[in-house]
Amino acid sequence: MSLLTVTRHMLRRDLLLAYRHRSELVNPLVFFLIVVSLFPLSLEPDPKLLATIGPGVIWVAALLATMLSLDAMFRPDFEDGTLEQLMLSPHPVALLVLVRVFAHWLVAGLPLILLAPLLALLMNLPSQSLPALLASLALGTPVLSLIGAIGVALTVALRRSGVLLSLLILPLYIPVLIFGARAVTDAAAGLPWTGPLLFLGALLALALTLAPLAIAGALRISLE
């Protein structure tokens, strides 16, 4: 089969499996909603305070919610032997794992973006900050998935690798968190916010270029 046919079948398979395990998809979204909702309940009912901390809260919650769904990216295929067949494919493994990461973003990252306007309202963010919030999440969440996939590929053969996975990828998530929250904060203050988005775009371009190669290499190491 051609590369286009293989990638189309892979994407369809991953989305179908995700649909059959809908409860696993809902858990990160519920976690995202609960974490953000707890802050207005635990702090003083001050709208200015909520608007000040809102960008950071939403971004931290999105980061943690993404981490909850990372383990399902390669582990089921590792356990049933599908991952070994993937590595034996005549097509470039880097492109095939990129399709897998894209499927993960569709079911884990895109719903976070769709839920973000509701949480922005909950955190009393001004309306002018909403475009920056959506744009930063649209650029940042794919980077989170790509970086997270590297960590999952390195630890897929290990049992109870959650703590190790967190230690590996959390330091790499910090630039995305900083620039994502900064864009929303600047927009809320009425300042230009395209600068942080340009940095996020650069991180996304770098991740799209290098991460698939790193994921493929990490999977080969894990399967040896």
**Residue 1: per-residue pLDDT:** 64
Residue 1 is given by DSSP the state -
Contact between 144 and 108 under an 8 Å Cβ cutoff? The reply is no
pLDDT digits (tens, 9 = 90+) for 111-152: 999 999 999 988 889 889 999 999 999 999 999 999 999 998
Question: Distance (Å, rounded) from C-alpha 109 to C-alpha 144?
Answer: 9
How many residues are listed for the chain in this entry?
224
In order along its 224 residues, the chain shows pLDDT tens digits of 677 888 888 888 888 887 777 777 788 889 999 989 888 888 776 788 888 888 999 999 999 999 888 887 888 778 777 788 878 878 888 888 999 899 989 988 899 999 999 999 888 898 899 999 999 999 999 999 999 999 988 888 777 767 788 888 999 999 999 999 999 999 988 889 999 999 999 999 999 999 999 999 988 888 87
Helices 194-223, 130-155: axis angle to 10 degrees equals 20
Q: Where are the domains of the chain?
A: 3-223
In this structure, what DSSP letter does residue 123 have?
T
Q: What are phi and psi of 171, to 5 degrees?
A: -60, -30
Residues 6+ apart with CB under 8 A from 80: none
- Dist. CA 27–CA 65, nearest whole Å: 8
Phi, psi of 44 (to 5 degrees): -65, 145
Give the Cα-Cα-Cα angle 192, 188, 172 (nearest 5 degrees). 75
Phi, psi of 91 (to 5 degrees): -85, 160
